[in-house]
Amino acid sequence: MPLGVYVHWPFCKSKCPYCDFNSHVRETIDAARWQAALLRELEHAAREAPGRRVATLFFGGGTPSLMAPETVAAVIDRTRELWDTEAELEITLEANPTSVEAGRFAQLASAGVNRVSLGVQALDEDALRFLGRQHSADEAVAAIATARRHFARYSFDLIYARPGQTEEAWAAELERALALAGEHLSLYQLTIERGTRFFTDRARGAFVLPDEERSAAMFERTQERLSAAGLPAYEISNHARPGAACRHNLIYWRYQDYVGIGPGAHGRFAAQGASEAGKRATRRSSGPEAWLEAVERQGHGTAETVRIAGRDLVEEALMMGLRLAEGIDRETFAAATGSDPVAALDQRRLSALAEAGFIEVDACRLRATPAGRQRLNAVLERLVA
């Protein structure tokens, strides 16, 4: 089974009003101190999951493109020293498309990054201002062109179903995106998360999201247009040409193993020497300063370690795998959880969802249909209740 390595860089220039990620704004950052701490926790993670082959390395955040390229290079080099790695190790870094950060792309490519994911979010100036982004649409287009020059693989994100957005306006923006796209696009509906500025703004009536019917129409139009363009959805919000899916994210959705370093990073990996199916789940301290002090004091910033087994293991694997268009491979699922996914479910509920056209079952796979993936939260509530 492949192992993924996730590195969390928690800092941003500003906090976007829709973002509930573990991201923070700081005036100054001691780059040397942070590099040393990341490398030290990486060594701890290698002791947690020894003897594995790393297939993917992912720098997320926050805004990892704000990291010093020297730090990125040091983490990549140390990962290769600590573990065996795949010959074609996928190394992804999330980036913002401001001109300053795009100017670092050549250095990041030299450091070893071979895939970049750009947080474009919109190609409309008014929408970018509403979303709190610091780049313009022209800067986004220029950053995509720069990414195309420096990286073998690149992707960018867009957010749709925004306040006041019509289906026709989104269709036009989608056409512009397709003209800029390479092999991968991530297209998310705007969701309002508790604890964000948008949650407060919406509660006081500052804006209204498109209703459920309009949002569903945008989703369906997105699926149809991307499929016709040769980038079908391989996951609810992610589209790629055949063979071009983000391999790191596939590790999550296939419920394979990964370790996480940096503030708030999570890990899920098979416990060493365990005789029964299960995973060890780790969570690092969320606060940047608390994490940094813990790593310097004890070599890691782990806040919690628990064992996931039994029904919890089955439900986690179901919730991840049913996001994928390919669904869940029953044999692989059974090897990871100790249970066949079909046998583990209530047969009456499963049959009802299959008859309604939301779930498909055959001898090899359990999958959600396109209609089921569009309503996956409701489907999962029925399946795992």
Domain C-terminal end among 204, 236, 251: 251
* Residue 264, preceding peptide bond in cis (omega within 30° of 0): no
127 plus 222 within the same structural domain: yes
Helix (H, G, I), strand (E, B) or coil at 266: strand
pLDDT tens readout for residues 355-370: 999 999 999 999 999 9
Angstrom distance (rounded) from CA 58 to CA 89: 10
For residues 39 and 262, give the distance between their C-alpha atoms in angstroms, rounded to a whole number.
10
Classify residue 286: in a domain, yes or no: no
Question: Quick one: pLDDT band at residue 297, thresholds 50, 70, 90?
Answer: very high
Residues 339 and 246 both lie in one domain? no
pLDDT tens-digit readout, 102-134: 889 999 999 999 999 999 999 999 999 999 999
How far, in Å, CA of 312 to CA of 384, rounded? 10
Say whether both 77 and 219 belong to one domain.
yes
What is the Cα–Cα distance from 249 to 186, expressed in whole angstroms?
A: 12
Distance CA 284, CA 172 (A): 42
137-163 mean pLDDT: 96
Can you state the angle between helices 31-48 and 69-82, rounded to 10 degrees?
20
Cα torsion 277, 59, 20, 185: sign: negative
Integer Cα distance of 249 and 332 in angstroms: 17
User: What does pTM read for this prediction?
Assistant: 0.96
Last residue of a domain, one of 219, 251, 283: 251
Q: Would you say the C-alpha torsion 177, 182, 183, 185 has a positive or negative sign? A: negative
Are 119 and 159 a contacting pair, CB within 8 Å?
A: no
Q: Are 92 and 82 in contact (CB under 8 A)?
A: no
What is the 3-state secondary structure of 51-78?
CCEEEEEEEEECCHHHCCHHHHHHHHHH
Residue 1: what pLDDT?
80
Q: What is the pLDDT of residue 313?
A: 94
| Domain finish residue from 222, 251, 280 | 251
Full DSSP string of 71-138 = HHHHHHHHHHHHSEEEEEEEEEEEE---HHHHTTHHHHHHHT--EEEEEEE-SSHHHHHHTT-SS-HH
> Has residue 172 been placed in a domain?
yes
In a domain, 170, yes or no: yes
Report residue 372's pLDDT band, with 50, 70 and 90 as the boundaries: very high
Pair (246, 335) in one structural domain = no
Question: For residue range 182-240, what is the model confidence (pLDDT) as tens digits?
Answer: 999 999 999 999 999 999 999 999 999 999 999 999 999 999 999 999 999 999 999 99
Q: Is the pLDDT of residue 274 over 80?
A: no
Q: What is d(CA 92, CA 319) in angstroms, rounded to the nearest whole number?
A: 24
Cβ atoms 308, 278 nearer than 8 A: yes
Assess whether 92 and 201 both reside in one domain: yes
Whether residue 339 sits in one domain with residue 241: no
User: Looking at the structure, do residues 74 and 190 belong to the same domain, yes or no?
Assistant: yes
Q: Cβ–Cβ contacts within 10 Å for residue 247, how many?
A: 20
pLDDT of 271 over the 90 cut: no
> Phi and psi for 148 in degrees, rounded to 5?
-60, -35
On whether residue 260 sits in a domain, the answer given is no
Neighbouring C-alpha atoms within 13 Å toward the C-beta of 262: 24
Considering the domain architecture, whether residues 235 and 363 belong to the same structural domain is answered as no
Q: How confident is the model at residue 384 (pLDDT cuts 50, 70, 90)?
A: confident
Are 229 and 358 part of one and the same domain?
no
pLDDT band at 95 (very low <50, low <70, confident <90, very high): very high
Specify the number of domains making up the chain.
2
265 domain residue, yes or no: no
Q: Are residues 18 and 128 in the same domain?
A: yes
- Position 309 in a domain: no
Structural domain boundaries, residue 348: 328-384
User: In the predicted model, is pLDDT for residue 281 greater than 70?
Assistant: yes
Q: Which residues pair with 233 in a beta bridge?
A: 239
Tell me, what CATH number does 111's domain have? 3.20.20.70
Position 298 in a domain: no
Query: Domain check: are 227 and 97 in the same one?
Result: yes
- Judged by average pLDDT, the poorest of 12-16, 99-103, 148-152, 184-188 is 99-103
Q: Is the pLDDT of residue 275 over 80?
A: no
CB distance 54 to 6 below 8 Å = no
| Concatenated DSSP letters of 356-370 | TTSEEE-SSEEEE-H
Residue 258: partners with Cβ closer than 8 Å, 6 or more residues away: 3, 4, 5, 6, 248, 251, 252, 267, 268, 269
- Say if residue 120 is in the same domain as residue 219: yes
pLDDT at residue number 99: 76
Residue 273 has pLDDT above 70, yes or no: no
Q: Do the domain assignments include residue 54?
A: yes
